[in-house]
Amino acid sequence: MALALLIVLSLLTLASCYFFGQSWLPLLASAQGANIDHQFKLDLIVLGIVFFVTQLALAFFVWKYRERNVRQGSGPSPDTTTRTEITWLAIAALLFLGTNMIGATLWADGDVAGKSAARNPVQVEVNAVQFRWYFRYPGPDGKFGRTRPELQDASEGNPLGIDHTDPDSKDDIVSSTLLLPVDRDVDLTLKAQDVIHSFFVPTLRVKQDAVPGHLITIHFTPTRPGEFDVVCAELCGLGHYQMNAKLKVLDEEHFQEFLKQTR
């Protein structure tokens, strides 16, 4: 029986390593996402090795110390057991802290957080409100118009509370679809009206919380034309499931046509 369990555990371990070794990530569509994919692969390799070794060790010990070989006093001493537990705990802590520090450094230095260093990035303001996404473009003047909370009223066609008396707001464009040009740097400024939301585009490997009272800027470069999903990755209320939108990455000509048609 112990030998059969050894074989089953070994086969399950090998099958699991193969299954989770396959790529589960969606199609990559941003220049910055390659570093994130590399980090995912590194984590899977490290954790896969740990999983493989520990599962095979479990199977071996199940077989080696099966009941018929147990003798009174034949087990390891308490001191040996304590040292072993401390050693494995320290190794686990180093792996956990190490991978988290690498991930935090990747996010901080991975050309995603903050504004783009490009000369003329596309500026878009992302507004999150239960349970919708609104995307605002500044127009030809490159300036966003002033907003006032008391003017926010979706039923009146002004969900963002844009102050239309402000000259800078005259050419602002508000869309429920995020349209961006391919191969150009994009600066997104995230805002939230009510609760914490999370802007997440899996194909771009971009995920950032939108927090009420804060302006949070991220940047990226779309590299593949197409239509992709924008979702909220933070539980934000009963209608959280319907808080989604579309990202359409266009060539420069069609992007400029969009800007002209919506003015």
Tens digits of pLDDT across the chain (263 residues): 666 766 776 777 777 766 665 667 788 899 888 888 888 888 888 888 888 888 788 777 777 776 655 555 555 556 667 887 888 888 888 888 887 777 777 666 656 777 887 788 999 999 999 999 999 999 888 888 888 888 888 888 889 988 888 888 888 899 999 999 999 999 999 999 999 999 999 999 889 999 999 999 999 999 999 999 999 999 999 999 999 999 999 999 999 888 887 66
Whether residue 115 lies inside any domain: the answer is no
- Regarding whether 134 and 104 lie in a shared domain, the answer is no
- Regarding whether 182 and 219 lie in a shared domain, the answer is yes
- Regarding whether 126 and 228 lie in a shared domain, the answer is yes
224: which DSSP letter?
S
Cβ contact 243:231 at 8 Å = yes
- Regarding whether 182 and 89 lie in a shared domain, the answer is no
Kindly tell me the burial class for residue 68, based on how many C-beta atoms sit within 10 Å of its own C-beta (0-12, 13-18, 19 or more). Answer: exposed
Cβ-Cβ contacts under 8 Å for 118 (sequence gap 6 or more)? 184, 185
Spatial separation of the C-alpha atoms in residues 118 and 122, rounded to whole Å: 10
Spatial separation of the C-alpha atoms in residues 79 and 195, rounded to whole Å: 52
Domain extent for 227: 122-261
- Regarding whether 153 and 56 lie in a shared domain, the answer is no
pTM of the entire predicted model: 0.76
CA-wise closest residue to 206 among 117, 126, 129: 126
Whether residue 114 lies inside any domain: the answer is no
Whether residue 25 lies inside any domain: the answer is yes
- Regarding whether 251 and 132 lie in a shared domain, the answer is yes
Whether residue 74 lies inside any domain: the answer is no
Spatial separation of the C-alpha atoms in residues 114 and 102, rounded to whole Å: 19
Spatial separation of the C-alpha atoms in residues 230 and 250, rounded to whole Å: 16
- Regarding whether 148 and 88 lie in a shared domain, the answer is no
- Regarding whether 56 and 126 lie in a shared domain, the answer is no
- Regarding whether 126 and 223 lie in a shared domain, the answer is yes
Helices (H), 110-227: none
- Regarding whether 161 and 85 lie in a shared domain, the answer is no
Whether residue 217 lies inside any domain: the answer is yes
Whether residue 117 lies inside any domain: the answer is no
Bond into 220 cis (ω within 30): no
- Regarding whether 129 and 16 lie in a shared domain, the answer is no
Domain count of the chain? 2
Whether residue 72 lies inside any domain: the answer is no
- Regarding whether 94 and 57 lie in a shared domain, the answer is yes
